[in-house]
Amino acid sequence: MEKLKHHIFVCGSARLVGENKGFCLQKGGVDIIQAFNEEVQDRGLDGDIMVTSTGCLGLCSKGPVVIIYPDQTWYGKVSVDDVEEIMDALEQGETVERLTF
């Protein structure tokens, strides 16, 4: 596998005991992960971008949380409807300012 251009982390609210429960999960975290995966596939970027579910990030008041590396961009209160806009911005080397924190 070649070096990735971006790694997208999405809070999936997993706890240390392996349970998926919490704010980000209740607010559609799993659906957001799926939407990012679909956008990556649809855009033919599966060799350039990886999407990973994370455990609880402890930022529930800002959730669902999405982090993009190596850019170190943190997005909060993300919804499925925001995924396409985030991907467009990522491809253009920009950020979605209204979601950053």
Residue 1: band (very low, low, confident or very high) from pLDDT cuts 50, 70, 90: low
Which pLDDT value is given to residue 18? 57
Average pLDDT rounded to a whole number, residues 37-49: 97
Nearest to 42 by CA among 87, 5, 11: 87
The angle, 0 to 180 degrees and rounded to 10, between the axes of the packed helices 83-91 and 29-42 is 40
**Contact by Cβ (8 Å): 30, 12:** yes
In the chain, beta strands by DSSP E:
6-14, 49-55, 66-69, 73-75
pLDDT surpasses 70 at 33:
yes
Query: What's the rounded Cα separation, in Å, for the pair 41 and 57?
Result: 26
Delineate the domains of the chain, giving CATH numbers in brackets. 6-99 (3.40.30.10)
- State which amino acid sits at residue 92: Q
